[in-house]
Structure 1
Amino acid sequence: MGPYLLKRLLLVIPALWLIASLVFLLSKLMPGTYGSQQLQQSDAGYYSKGDPESREKAFRQYLRKTGQDLPLFYFSVTSLPEPDTLHLIYPETERLFLKRMAWLYGDWTLVSAFYSSLQQLEGSLTATERKSIQPHMHALYQHTRSEQLSSAVDSIASTLAASTDPLRRLQASTHTLLDTREEYAYVLPDFRWHGPDNQYHHWMRHLFEGELGTSYRDGRPVVALLVEAIGNTWWLMFISMGLATLISLELAMLMVRRHGRIWRRSVLPALFFLDSIPLFVLAMLLLVLLASPAFLQLFPVYGMGYYTEVSLSWLQAMNQWLLFMALPMVCLVLANLPYLTNQFYHALAGTASQDYTRTARAKGLSESGVIRRHMLRNALLPIITLLSDFLPALVAGAVIIETIFAIPGIGRLLIDSVMARDYPVMVGIVVLVALFKLLAHLLSDLLYALADPRIRHTAA
């Protein structure tokens, strides 16, 4: 058993590393960041009333503080005209505009000179002048075709009364950009080596040290946020999984009996109807029927985690916690009961016609003894497989349930981090779920070996 378990454990480590790496890298490819989103809001404090230059400076300071100013990986392969500092430009619309310009004209130095002269001209204008040439300036920030750029610059020059140094620099940089255009430079790849001073290297080093980074929203460690939120989610999933498994097994054993036709005729249609109800609809029905003054207000909703009574004893606190968690647990049990019962029933029914089952009945064993001592034991392998794959469904259900019932757990934390683009928290939650998934498969392998010794002897 020891070598078998060690071999399975050694397979879990590289699998977890690969999943964590893919999740981290894919999260960095998602558009937008928490800093840019916050600076674009109207209530962003001091920077909401600042000029674009002060906002860009604040954005770069934020990137430097969170380590996002570093390269993403040890190396990068990009198009030749595209610089490796493009992610430092704020806002994102101008970043995408400059990327299109670099790909179209093939020389980042000339594109950067054109963009700098455009900003200098905009900063030197008075309010009246800026209003008079606003459509032409908007065209320069939006269009990339050469005739459109040339027409917009000529229109600005004819609208302004005097020719200033910023205007002349804009005209010169525009003509240089259009005259020295390299149309197909974007097809040439550019390989850049960044070394170990990159985001992935620092994140992976912290991961091996037990750290998952810092939240972008409040600056707290991701591990601390996960520890606070995992308690309610763990008990919600553990109790729901246990209750759903026990009830499903009992229903399946009742239906697999030789005289279980009555149970099959009554239970299967009810389970089919229950399975047709979406999870969020089922949750809303339970809220309306059992937590609303219009029907039966037996359970409280909304408020768990927002207030605590310091004078409550541990028994009273447990009772209050159960009142808040009762409906979410019932909802998850009912949502997963049809699938589990159907799978357990088919697993047991597959052993009903086997020789050992007929032999056990011929020996005079009771129907319950035949099912529990013979049929159930030989149907353990598909049941173990089913339970090991049950965790992702519970996690997905917990996200919906915690959002609907306002439970402070991993699911609601995931929703909040997605809405705020708090990528370290998102990556930490996904890595945590992947870890539990791999541990569930490791536990199922162990249970396989205990249920059927031939498996561990074959694997060894």
Structure 2
Amino acid sequence: MLHYLFKRLITTLPALWLLATFVFILSRLLPGAAGSEQILQENGGFYSKGNANSRQDAYKAYIKRTGQDLPLFYFSVKAGTEPDTLSLIFPEAERQRLQLLNWRYGNWPAVWQYNQSLKETEVAVLLHANPRQQAAFENLLTAATPEQLRTSMSVLVMRAAGTPSEQAVRKLEQAANQLIEKQNKFAYMFPSFHWHGLNNQYHRWIAELVKGNAGNSYRDQRPVSEVIIESFSNTFWLIVSSILIAFTVSLELSLFLVMRKGKMFRKFFLPLLFILDSIPLFLLALLLLVLFATPEFLQWFPVFGLGLNMNSGLSAFQQLSVRMQYMALPVLCLTLTNIPYLTNLIYKTLRTEKTAGYARTARAKGLSEQQVIRRHVLRNSLLPVITILTDAFPALLAGTVVIETIFAIPGLGRLLVNSVMARDYPIIVAIVIFVAIVRVVAYLVADIGYGLADPRVKQQYE
């Protein structure tokens, strides 16, 4: 058995590595850049007190400190004449505009010269403070095709005539004409290969991960492991409580329905479970909030969070009671979500095993219906239940994203949502890997459960 489990664990390591690599690269392809909203924003925030140049310098320093200035992987394949250093151009809007122009015109020197003229013209137009010129210049920033470029350029030249910005606009017109005349439409069809060596983001990350270091959060520079452990403590109790309650209720309800005395209740409970299973998770959470946490109905439970910050002077028992009040509705929501599926599975398995030969033999020996079901039928029905229970823990981690967001619980699901919004790549990748590891451990626990429930399975492992 141990040899089988060890072999199973070893074979999953390559799958975990491939998953980690895929998630790492995919997370870097998310739209937006890490830290851009906190540093480059003009309104609100610490960095908004400085001018645009100071924000750009602060953002470049941030990118260099977090290693995002390095190439993503060992190699890259880019289209046409796109330079390898395009990712180092900030802000992101300028980089996207340069990339689009390079794809369309296929002449990077002409694109770069046109972009430099755009910057000089922007300064001149802003100093002139003519609203009509500014509107024409903004239209030029979004122009991509030669027709759009010529039309927007002619409008800007007309409105800049006789103004201090006319010279800069004329220079920009020359750069635009050169861009159109020297375009190479099919340059993007010939990809260029770039080798970056070991000095890239992925190699640095995987080397540290092998050492047990998942990196630091981009938001507060805290170790990733510390952030995840802190958040997972709340998620763990939420999931474990809901699984235990849902399994206990589903098991007892299934045992009741499969017996003769529960026959008259089947027509009522089974459709009710179907209706409950049809309610989306987020809708069920909102219904519970409205019914049990608002003054208009029954304000029995608190609404958001865990309420521990304001009760830091309480004893451990008092803090536990406060936590239970805040966790009651989230646990109830996850429990109600899982009861229909578990009950249906256990009930169908029990009903099938109830007609097996060993069950008829047990009845012939004089055992009561309850003894036959609980002593014999139940054990042989545990194999599919073990599979569902071991798979429920990692599966419920996805459900906690909705629950923790609605109920404002500082858990792993809410951390994942906040990390995606903030482009906190180390946290995103670490959470996905953590969930994958939990799933692998769950499968190993299922194998052990199979061996305990059915000795024949254990002999196959050996």
Aligned equivalent of 1:100: 100
Alignment RMSD (CA, Å): 2.5
Take 2:264 and 2:166, find their aligned partners in 1: how far apart are those partners?
93
How many angstroms does 1:166 deviate by? 4.8
The answer to whether the Cα contact below 8 Å between 1:77 and 1:189 also exists between their aligned partners in 2 is yes
Instruction: Output the amino acid matched with 1:344.
Output: I
Aligned equivalent of 1:434: 436
Aligned runs of 1:355-374 on 2, under 5 Å?
355-374=357-376
Q: 1:139 to 1:284 in 2, by over 3 A?
A: closer
Larger displacement relative to structure 2 (406-415 or 351-360): 406-415
Take 2:31 and 2:140, find their aligned partners in 1: how far apart are those partners?
24
Aligned equivalent of 1:116: 116
The answer to whether the Cα contact below 8 Å between 1:361 and 1:367 also exists between their aligned partners in 2 is yes
Instruction: Output the amino acid matched with 1:77.
Output: V
Q: 1:350 aligns with which of 334, 349, 352?
A: 352
Task: Return the TM-score normalized by structure 2.
Answer: 0.91
Take 1:286 and 1:118, find their aligned partners in 2: how far apart are those partners?
56
The answer to whether the Cα contact below 8 Å between 2:404 and 2:413 also exists between their aligned partners in 1 is yes
Take 1:88 and 1:146, find their aligned partners in 2: how far apart are those partners?
27
Task: Using the aligned pairs only, state the percent identity.
Answer: 48
Matched, 1:31 2:31: yes
Aligned equivalent of 2:405: 403
Matched, 1:242 2:278: no
Aligned runs of 1:35-54 on 2, under 5 Å?
35-38=35-38, 39-47=40-48, 50-51=51-52, 53-54=53-54
Take 1:154 and 1:300, find their aligned partners in 2: how far apart are those partners?
63
Q: 1:5 to 1:163 in 2, by over 3 A?
A: closer
Aligned equivalent of 1:188: 190
SS at match of 1:32: coil
Deviations along 1:43-86, one digit per CA (max 9) or x if unpaired, are 144446623x4443333222112111111111111102222222
Q: 2:315 aligns with which of 291, 313, 326?
A: 313
Q: 1:229 aligns with which of 228, 231, 234?
A: 231
Deviations along 1:180-234, one digit per CA (max 9) or x if unpaired, are 2111010001111111111111122222233333222222222221121111110
Structure 1 segments, 4+ long, off by >6 Å, are: 162-165
Aligned equivalent of 2:331: 329
Aligned equivalent of 1:60: 60
Instruction: Output the amino acid matched with 1:61.
Output: A
SS at match of 2:84: coil
SS at match of 1:80: coil
Q: 1:154 to 1:10 in 2, by over 3 A?
A: same
Aligned equivalent of 1:219: 221
Instruction: Output the amino acid matched with 1:37.
Output: E
Structure 1 gap ranges (5+):
none
Q: 1:312 to 1:54 in 2, by over 3 A?
A: closer
Aligned equivalent of 2:70: 70
Aligned runs of 1:266-281 on 2, under 5 Å?
266-281=268-283
Take 2:381 and 2:152, find their aligned partners in 1: how far apart are those partners?
76
SS at match of 2:354: coil
Q: 1:121 to 1:95 in 2, by over 3 A?
A: same
How many angstroms does 1:457 deviate by? 4.5
Instruction: Output the amino acid matched with 1:181.
Output: Q
The answer to whether the Cα contact below 8 Å between 1:214 and 1:220 also exists between their aligned partners in 2 is yes
Take 1:315 and 1:121, find their aligned partners in 2: how far apart are those partners?
67
Deviations along 1:274-303, one digit per CA (max 9) or x if unpaired, are 223332333233333333334443333335
